[in-house]
Chain A
Amino acid sequence: MNPEASVVDNVIDTVSAVFLVVGALMSLAAAVGLLRFPDLLSRMHAATKPQVLGLFLLLAAIGLQVRTWWVWPVLLVAWIFQLLTVPVSAHMVGRAGYRTKHLHRELLSSDELDAVVQKAAQSARDESARDEASDGGRRD
């Protein structure tokens, strides 16, 4: 093996080692966030770190270590799949948490869903009031 290639090898090994350790630290950060944050929504913020950035770093380290060009599209597909599914499940969990009041309202800096919920409740109330009025008219 010529010396230049082994230098490149060392550099690639070092970069992938850094990626692996940082990617593992993302998981640790998520666990610390899960344990220390006060309510569901802020815990969700911490929980997404290993799922997106951590997985990206680990897959990049795999690509650097295996050293064949055709693994990169496969790794990209795995990462994009994760990127598509994580927001959907986070949306569902956040919505269910909002509905079931698992949040500390005083910690929110803005609540954009509140106006929508109020409006829907108002229109439902109007609807039922109108139904009641028309029913009463028919009965008289």
Chain B
Amino acid sequence: MMQTVLAVTAVILSLAAAGAIIRISRGPSLLDRVLASDVLLAILGAALSIDMAVNRHLNNLMLLVALSIVGFIGSVTVARFVADRREQAHES
């Protein structure tokens, strides 16, 4: 049964990653791209957790936490950067 679950979730996550990548490439603004890359990171974390659950090991757990740290720092930094640049553009 676990192999079937693995196949089904692999198909679902591939479709989801394709959707997120389409939004990254098409996204009208920088913030849309940041949001979509955050979702792509969450999909990657989901794939790691599914691998851990199906194969019954815990090797990726620290990687999962590190991945969420990277997503947090990345989106906060880019949001800050966007706000600053737009404000300066208005002032000048």
Contact = CB atoms under 8 A, between A and B. Distances in A.
**Same assembly:** yes
Interface of A: 13-14, 16-17, 20-21, 23-28, 30-32, 34-35, 40, 43-44, 47, 50-51, 54-55, 58-59, 61-62, 64-66, 71, 74-75, 77-78, 81-82, 85-86, 88-89, 92-93, 95-97, 99-100, 102
A114 B86 CA distance: 18
Contacts of B43: 27, 30-31, 50
30 contacts: A14-B1, A17-B2, A20-B9, A20-B53, A21-B8, A21-B9, A24-B16, A24-B50, A27-B12, A30-B42, A31-B19, A32-B19, A34-B23, A40-B35, A43-B23, A43-B32, A44-B35, A55-B49, A61-B50, A74-B61, A78-B68, A85-B68, A85-B72, A89-B71, A89-B75, A92-B75, A95-B79, A96-B31, A96-B79, A99-B87
A48 to B, nearest CB: 9
B65 A40 contact: no
A89 B31 contact: no
A28 B15 contact: yes
A23 B65 contact: no
Contact of A82 (B35, B36, B57, B68): B68
B60 to A, nearest CB: 10
A13 B58 CA distance: 17
Interface of B: 1-2, 5, 8-9, 12-13, 15-20, 22-23, 28-29, 31-32, 34-36, 38-39, 42-43, 45-46, 49-50, 52-54, 56-58, 61, 64-65, 68-69, 71-72, 75-76, 79-80, 82-83, 86-87
Contacts of A97: 29, 31
B39 A55 contact: no
A93 B34 contact: yes
Main secondary structure of the interface of B (DSSP, over half): helix
A55 B76 CA distance: 20
